[in-house]
Structure 1
Amino acid sequence: ALSMLKSMRLCQVLTSVITFSALLSACREAGQWQLAIALLHEMLGCGLQPDLIIHSAALSACERSQQWQAALDHLREMYRGRIAPDIIAYNAVVSACEKGGRWHSAMALLASVSQHSLRPDVVTLGAAASACCNCQRWEEAMVLLGRAQHLPLRVDRALWGTVVAACERSQRWVEALQLFRQAQKRSPSVDSLLYTGALSACKLGERWQEALQLLLEMRLGPRTSREASPLRWAGLEPDVVAFGAAMAACEGAFQWQRSLRLLSELRSAGLRSSLIAFSAGISACKQGQCWHQALGLLGEISSAALAPNVVTYSSAMSSCQE
């Protein structure tokens, strides 16, 4: 972009705001944040005043490059230059903080949004909640969900899923399951991401019965899962993560036969087993004293190009000793 700008100058082509806007858009798409900032300085050197769209393009370039500090610095520069950022500009900076693991900066930006008479949207709250989730700040994530519910906007499934995941990652499985059921009541079409978060919570709490119920709900829907036949499907196919979490929940609650049955269902569904699923299966074999099956699963791990960990080997060895 800079070389193109120099060529235009050599050819005495008049540079304008439109020219710089096109160059900044290219930087945004390529995630070239340093070049984007340099172009802004070039604009000022040419006596041109960048508008809000151009500033937002520079912020998006910082966000795509995960340069949270550069995004924050540029936001401050906008205020110093008396360019009032809109919610789109703020969203780019909050997303940059989310990608950089700066949950407290994301929360501070939300406060700044309100102070400047702007209203956060689903993107703003979702990015801030994701930042909290990544840093295991479940209470802050729940506050954001509550805030979203009091705003005149529709809380999407992604935000619910993020907050459920925040609770699950923070070992707050009770809260995660409660939130999942709330999401079900508010939205009839709960997606697989939400189900996976709830299943992971079941694994933490060793709620094997609820885990099996959730797997059934994914296939048949929450209203018909108890009476519908296995031939009726709701369109959601449990993936290997969902099966692995349900297996771990059963194994942790000493329901080893159910855990092995789920492993069989996973294979019947044509899914490739994960290390979590294999480990849960081997632990189930240990509980059921099925040493030959445990060794078979250990061999399958190597065949699947997975690397067994210490826990996996220990469970397999224990099954042989028993």
Structure 2
Amino acid sequence: MPQRRVSPGQISCSSVISSCERAGEWEISLGLLSGMPAMRLPPDEISCSAAISVCEKSGQWQIALDLLSSMPALGASPDDISYNAAMNACAKGGQWRLVIDLLGTMSKVDLIPSAVSYSTGLGACVAGSELGLALVWMGKLQGRALCDLGSWGRS
């Protein structure tokens, strides 16, 4: 872009980061994310969530968690998409306890877990052979699905 004298923006940076997800290039995505402030483009929720998703697809659950926790320092507020991407990364890494911790943290920071959040928690519990806890999350997932269906009918 600089060779063509086009200034990159938030959307173009987030798009490139997302493209790294399909190519499995988590290091490139992190390099771009960390280079955004030098371009006078503060990372936002979209670019950070995209980078967390890249880490998830690349099996880098630790880095995904680090990104999630560093978002406020970057000036970005983690949202449900950020949390869901980090939970998926932890689930794929076999870290079911961290998935459950993240679900609990969502409630503490006034984010409402979605059906996707609960489904990830359920899957992580099953994978961790925590069947009692899986039943708890299955109940929450069913309740959330009913809420989602009810709100869908009103739109």
Structure 1: unaligned runs, 5 residues or longer? 1-7, 155-322
Amino acid corresponding to residue 108 of structure 2 in structure 1: Q
* Residues 1:145 and 1:26: Cα distance change in structure 2 (over 3 Å): same
List 4+ stretches of structure 1 deviating above 4 A: none
Q: Report the structure, 1 or 2, having the larger helix content.
A: 2
Secondary structure of the 1:14 match is: coil
Alpha-carbon distance in structure 1 between the residues aligned to 2:130 and 2:45:
33
Amino acid corresponding to residue 14 of structure 1 in structure 2: S
Amino acid corresponding to residue 121 of structure 2 in structure 1: A
1:58 to 42, 48, 51: 51
Amino acid corresponding to residue 153 of structure 1 in structure 2: D
Structure 2: unaligned runs, 5 residues or longer? 150-155
Please list the CA deviations of residues 218-246 of structure 1 after superposition, one character each: whole Å capped at 9, or x if unmatched.
Answer: xxxxxxxxxxxxxxxxxxxxxxxxxxxxx
Corresponding residue of 1:69: 62
Question: Over alpha carbons, which structure has the higher Rg?
Answer: 1
Secondary structure of the 1:153 match is: helix
Corresponding residue of 2:93: 100
Corresponding residue of 2:71: 78
Corresponding residue of 1:40: 33
Alpha-carbon distance in structure 2 between the residues aligned to 1:32 and 1:123:
25
Alpha-carbon distance in structure 2 between the residues aligned to 1:114 and 1:31:
31
Please list the CA deviations of residues 245-291 of structure 1 after superposition, one character each: whole Å capped at 9, or x if unmatched.
Answer: xxxxxxxxxxxxxxxxxxxxxxxxxxxxxxxxxxxxxxxxxxxxxxx
Corresponding residue of 1:27: 20
Corresponding residue of 2:152: none
Q: Give 1:11 deviation, angstroms.
A: 4.6
* Superposition map of 1:79-158 within 5 A: 79-151=72-144, 152-153=147-148
Secondary structure of the 1:147 match is: helix
Amino acid corresponding to residue 113 of structure 1 in structure 2: M
Percent identity over paired residues: 37
Q: TM-score, normalised by structure 1?
A: 0.43
**Alignment length, in residue pairs?**
147
Q: Give 1:27 deviation, angstroms.
A: 1.0
Across the aligned residues of Structure 1 and Structure 2, the Cα RMSD in angstroms comes to 1.7
Alpha-carbon distance in structure 1 between the residues aligned to 2:74 and 2:44:
11
Alpha-carbon distance in structure 2 between the residues aligned to 1:28 and 1:40:
13
* Superposition map of 1:165-176 within 5 A: none
Q: Give 1:55 deviation, angstroms.
A: 1.3
